[in-house]
Chain A
């Protein structure tokens, strides 16, 4: 019988019940959705890494690794598998601005791939296993011919398989590219056997060139002739040089591994863990970023939902007071009544949480699925949806808490005798409020006084409304501000940092003299990037020569730094390594030398953790370097390719790779803002109705006295507007604060400076006021239907 009453009561309070369920759904959905997002990244990428034997460590050597080296490395205890590895970015022949990372894994137990279509991997195979996404974006299919340009030699072959590889799960050309762009960049694998053929061709070609230079008549230079000169040693040497990398799978500590490698090979080798590899680092960073985001904004949603529930449940219990009294008078035991009303909370909790799980799943899928926002970012075969373990207790605790809230609200009404319970609920007596001590009070309009006193009389309701508005505001400022900050950052990157037309990337360890000759020809600025060890961490040493300000370094306040030759600059993320004025000590990888330099300041670095210095200082200190990129204002098409150049990237094209990143951000922001608006509407409507019901007797009296509906409506709306006004005043700085906190928490990922556009402020404020006004009108409309006669009946 009482169960039937539960449903009927729920129906009679449908507005409240529905809004409570919506709030719990929304709170739980956002909480789960954003937390599932990072968990799914962790699980799915983790699975994919395992499936494709993603390397735990990468060893780099300029000279390359010999067969003997790999044997020695493989014999180290604690290494499960190791391979010589090649990964090099190559242009596709006769295709403008299209390039591939070409990978070769000598031992197909490390750094492998999953074949989506076509032939299985064959270590003697002759074809290309091409990234399926790149193939799709460029309309390539199995059987098509592909030609790559490899240092003056062509690598020709057919596409035999379409694949996905863990090593290129986030397919970016270099660390400075944020988002994959499969139209211009992809990856492919060839077999080690095929590499041998390629190297042989290259030796022949180089030899032919040498012969030509030595004025040997062309008719004598043919295959047979060149074949004669090639020895096994030459081939082995070329192979050694090509395999500049060893990838391995091991659970060893980095230090221990470094020591073991040094012992085996007798030289210091640059060892980087997967934490430094762009793919692992970025996917990990994405998950960490999600964790940080998931710990703030969605939690705010859940908190608002639960807190509003407290007020609403309390109101329902007080409104049900006489019913509770009747049940009590009829002889129902307190326990039974408690159980009955407590089941309301349980009901709302279970239904809300169930819908919340569905919403959470949908949010997670909207972000993490092949067609979702992360679909371009991560290239992996399987997309799941995983719930972090801590979410289960949170769900259970939420349901328990909601049940407890209704239990406590009802217990309060059950105190005393049946007769006490039968007496209707009377709100607290009105007392003079603080403001009334001032003179101006008497001059206020009666409606103003009425509203102010009503707010102070129903403090918890007012506080909840305020909290809802502040929450709505924080979510909007936080979400939109994130976008502004990102846009501002990109703008900074596009104008203040990069002022060039084309970035010319040079091959690894390019000859310095030749590089400088090329630089003299192209003009502009140049930059050298190399790995150094600073306090045991691998960071980038960024040597810059920027007389033309094509490439700039900016400080914490986004102002350009005129680099001094007297010392180095640390990026903000490294600011805890040394104070300004301190000296730091670092050593380049593969070198026993150490260098000392004074820290002159901190700079904002785009992507990498870096130590920046001028070329003058580098030369003064005696640091060896090779130029990595030249930044010039010449157009890419006007720059002739040569052996030195590994690629040309035009700035607009580079900036475009950020677009998809911005799209992901936009998607999340839209979800957040929509959720914030719904949350705002539901919270305000719920509390607005409550306020309306509580005051219905007063409103009816005003109506009887002769006040028009419009006037009374204005009274109701103005209360909402004031609360919104106060809420906005609190919410704006609170939103900025939350955003700043987020940016600080995300600083490990990006060094962004908080930037908020006027549009964000105005959109947030207008939307919040809009929501408030809309809800106010919805509530005020109800006023028209108020039954004066009915409302005037009964005792005060």
Chain B
């Protein structure tokens, strides 16, 4: 069953007289519970695609349907509610609130997400119970990213959106974080979309969407994706 549907989506950025088509008539569908990797070089339009999906940006043309709801025409407040209930984000630079502790950062989402999960439990699942009352700046990059995963999942969203989640980490930590991300997404039955230029991650995905110059080059369905341990990093 498809959870995401992009139909002829075009996004044009204008700066001054210069126009840039970040997405050019893009159409695809994603199935629920799948692990999807959007792959492409920098400037290909993959982050734009993710932002559209996450309700951070709206298309100039076309429709985006998520969970049977057209999100391309929602108002600011409706989009905020959509982000609160339907999607969880994991960013390259974690984007934790520096003035809130680990626990507070995760607990924060319970204020907006209708089906939020227990913050303490989520932190335990990413193995950071000992750091409950630390500030983000007191943690390592890998630990911060684990908190960010806990925060994303605590909202209990339908889809988990990750923008280069291992981009700021060394490869060993990166693999560890990725494993955690995937296993948790699986345990909670979430659809997970990762944007990356890392080919190795793509080998683990159910679906790989290759993007270049704002267009989709190919969509590959992988019947037998590799596990993290099988991938060469």
Please name the residue on chain A nearest to B81 by beta carbon: A706
Identify A706's interface contact among B83, B104, B136, CB under 8 A: B83
A174-182, A447-455, A467-475 - the one binding chain B: A447-455
Question: Per-residue 0/1 for B85-106: is the Cβ within 8 Å of any A Cβ (1 yes, 0 no)?
Answer: 1000101011111111000100
Within 8 Å of chain B (Cβ to Cβ): is A794?
A: yes
Give bound CA distance, A457 to B168, whole Å: 26
Smallest Cβ distance from A423 to chain B, in angstroms?
15
Give bound CA distance, A625 to B142, whole Å: 98
Give bound CA distance, A429 to B99, whole Å: 9
B113 touches A430 (CB 8 A): no
Identify A794's interface contact among B82, B93, B109, CB under 8 A: B93
Q: A446-B107, A706-B85 are in contact. Are A453 and B93 (CB under 8 A)?
A: no
B84 touches A796 (CB 8 A): no
Within 8 Å of chain A (Cβ to Cβ): is B219?
A: no
Considering only residues 195-230 of chain B, those with a C-beta below 8 Å from chain A are none
B109 touches A705 (CB 8 A): yes
Give bound CA distance, A680 to B98, whole Å: 29
Give bound CA distance, A429 to B136, whole Å: 9
Considering only residues 157-177 of chain B, those with a C-beta below 8 Å from chain A are 168
Please, which residues of chain A bring their CB within 8 A of the CB of B112?
Answer: 705-707, 711
Considering only residues 417-435 of chain A, those with a C-beta below 8 Å from chain B are 427, 429-432
Please, which residues of chain B bring their CB within 8 A of the CB of A702?
Answer: 97
Q: How many residues of A contact B (CB 8 A)?
A: 31
Please, which residues of chain A bring their CB within 8 A of the CB of B93?
Answer: 792, 794-796
A788 touches B77 (CB 8 A): no
Smallest Cβ distance from B98 to chain A, in angstroms?
6
Within 8 Å of chain B (Cβ to Cβ): is A703?
A: yes
Smallest Cβ distance from A444 to chain B, in angstroms?
10
B83 touches A457 (CB 8 A): no
A-B contact count (CB 8 A): 87
B100 touches A453 (CB 8 A): yes
A789 touches B51 (CB 8 A): yes
Q: B interface, how many residues as a size bin?
A: 35 or more
Please name the residue on chain B nearest to A709 by beta carbon: B76
Give bound CA distance, A413 to B57, whole Å: 36
Please, which residues of chain B bring their CB within 8 A of the CB of A450?
Answer: 97, 99-100
Give bound CA distance, A454 to B100, whole Å: 10
A697 touches B95 (CB 8 A): yes
**What DSSP secondary structure best describes chain A's contact surface?**
helix
A784 touches B97 (CB 8 A): no
Within 8 Å of chain A (Cβ to Cβ): is B111?
A: yes
Give bound CA distance, A427 to B136, whole Å: 13
Give bound CA distance, A704 to B98, whole Å: 16
Within 8 Å of chain B (Cβ to Cβ): is A708?
A: yes
Within 8 Å of chain A (Cβ to Cβ): is B59?
A: no
Within 8 Å of chain A (Cβ to Cβ): is B54?
A: yes
Please name the residue on chain B nearest to A454 by beta carbon: B99
B104 touches A788 (CB 8 A): no
Smallest Cβ distance from B177 to chain A, in angstroms?
17
Within 8 Å of chain A (Cβ to Cβ): is B178?
A: no
Within 8 Å of chain B (Cβ to Cβ): is A144?
A: no
Please name the residue on chain A nearest to B96 by beta carbon: A701
Smallest Cβ distance from B191 to chain A, in angstroms?
17
Smallest Cβ distance from A795 to chain B, in angstroms?
6
Within 8 Å of chain B (Cβ to Cβ): is A227?
A: no
Residue contacts A-B, CB under 8 angstroms, 13 given: A427-B98, A430-B99, A431-B135, A446-B107, A454-B99, A701-B95, A702-B97, A705-B151, A706-B80, A708-B80, A708-B81, A709-B80, A794-B93
Which A-B residue pairs are the 10 nearest by beta carbons?
A706-B84, A706-B83, A453-B99, A430-B135, A708-B80, A701-B95, A429-B137, A788-B56, A706-B112, A698-B97
* Seed contacts A446-B100, A704-B95, A709-B77; 6 additional CB < 8 Å A-B pairs: A429-B137, A701-B96, A705-B83, A705-B89, A706-B83, A706-B109
